[in-house]
Amino acid sequence: MSESTHDGPVAVSPRPAPDDGPTAAELAARYGLSVSGARPAIPAYVRQLWNRRHFIVAFSRAKLSAQYSQAKLGQLWQVVTPLLNALVYYLIFGLILNAGRGLPKDVYIPFLVTGVFVFTFTQTSVMSGVRAISGNLGLVRALHFPRASLPISFALQQLQQLLVSMIVLFVVVMVFGSRPSLSWLLIVPALLLQFGFNTGLALIMARAGAHTPDLAQLMPFVTRTWMYASGVMFSIPAMLEGRPRWIADVLQWNPAAVYMDLIRFALIDGYGSENLPPHVWAVALGWAVVILAGGFVYFWKAEERYGRG
């Protein structure tokens, strides 16, 4: 306390003096005051998040519509961007590098487009997860809400973006000869599982990115490597033909490959179950549960430290 120059007539009581009664902690206990900014237990935390569900949804939708609001074509870019992406990959991998070996042409194009869209879903969830806290420090420092709202909201934004892309995907798949059937309904559980997995990843990346913002520079390289290893533009079993089958199985158990293959299997008539690794649904469920639960706990453990910057 530097009040040395201001003695004299002024009534200075900078703190409850020790002889003046209870200590701060006792006083707090007596009137039921709690420590500000303490981390709640997991059940209470989940309840807080549930209470904020409208904010989470509104924030994700606001981000989505703010994204293209300056462009002349506006929300149309939500559809055009993934389509152009698929076109670029088709030019390079389909025509120039001929990566579609082992797949007939009318299967390869929907195979590629599905792969690009589904992988982009995970990729953008990771990238927006990294910036979920570090890019919104103003919000974190100004308002009180369970911080997990942010990464969850960003993952939700990507899900909505994907649902728009899905319309394009349906058209592409039907142009190349597949017809809507009951198996199309399988994309609902597959996308839900992938959304759970992505949300978990976004939570993990959000905590890591809050501590080390440099990850935003590094992650594009990691996700690109992941993309090339996951069989987005080639069929993993066809590429590994002649080698032991288990190598292909292990590569196909990679979560990105699992979710892509499930959606391809659901949508594309010429892409049968012989292309799927064994126990594929169990693996899809396992990844989703483990990453989501793990990511949630990992994120929650630093709850009171976000915003220090």
Closest to other proteins by CB, 153 vs 252, is: 153
**How far, in Å, CA of 309 to CA of 307, rounded?**
5
CA atoms of 305 and 110, how far apart (whole Å): 45
Cα 138 to Cα 21, 59, 128, 258, distances in angstroms:
39, 15, 16, 37
Contact 215, 229 (CB under 8 A): no
Q: Which of 41, 43, 70, 273 binds other proteins (CB under 8 A)?
A: 70
Q: Tokens 């059940």 correspond to what residue?
A: 43
Q: In the 8-state DSSP scheme, what is residue 15?
A: S
C-beta closer to other proteins: residue 56 or 113: 56
Measured from the CB atom, the residue of 21 and 43 that comes closer to other proteins is: 21
Q: Interface with other proteins includes 141 (CB under 8 A)? A: yes
- Which has the closest alpha carbon to 292: 153, 197, 190, 159? 197
Q: Cβ closer to other proteins: 49 or 266?
A: 49
Binding residues with other proteins: total (CB under 8 A): 54
Give me the least distance between CB of 54 and other proteins, in Å please. Answer: 5
Of the residues 18, 142, 221, 273, which one makes contact with other proteins according to CB under 8 A: 142
Please give the single-letter amino acid code of residue 74.
G
> How wide is the angle at C-alpha 56 spanned by C-alphas 52 and 61, nearest 5°?
150
Cβ contacts of 262 within 8 Å, gap of 6 or more: 186, 187, 190, 276, 280, 281, 284
Applying the rule CB under 8 A, the residues between 77 and 136 that interact with other proteins are 136
* 224-283: contacts with other proteins (CB under 8 A): none
Among the listed residues 80, 83, 139, 240, the single contact to other proteins using CB under 8 A? 139
67, burial (CB in 10 Å: exposed 0-12, middle 13-18, buried 19+): middle
Q: Which is nearer to other proteins, 9 or 244 (CB)?
A: 9
The angle at the Cα of 148, spanning 187 to 164, to the nearest 5 degrees, equals: 30
Nearer to other proteins, 69 or 273 (CB): 69
Residue 145 or 298: the one with the smaller Cβ distance to other proteins is 145
- Residues 1-60 binding other proteins (CB under 8 A) are 1-3, 6, 9-16, 20-21, 23-25, 27-28, 31-38, 51-52, 54-55, 58-59
- 304 part of the interface to other proteins, by CB under 8 A: yes
Quote the least distance from Cβ 11 to other proteins, whole Å: 5
Q: Supply 91's token pair.
A: 């030019």
In terms of Cβ atoms closer than 10 Å to its own Cβ (0-12, 13-18, 19+), residue 70 is: exposed
Contact call for residue 140 and other proteins (CB under 8 A) = yes
| Binder of other proteins out of 43, 138, 242, 244 (CB under 8 A) | 138
**Shortest gap between Cβ of 221 and other proteins (angstroms)?**
18
Cβ at position 285, least distance to other proteins in Å? 32
Gap between the Cα atoms of 60 and 241, Å rounded:
43
Provide the binding-site residues for other proteins, judged by CB under 8 A. 1-3, 6, 9-16, 20-21, 23-25, 27-28, 31-38, 51-52, 54-55, 58-59, 62-63, 65-66, 69-70, 136, 138-145, 213, 304-305, 307-309
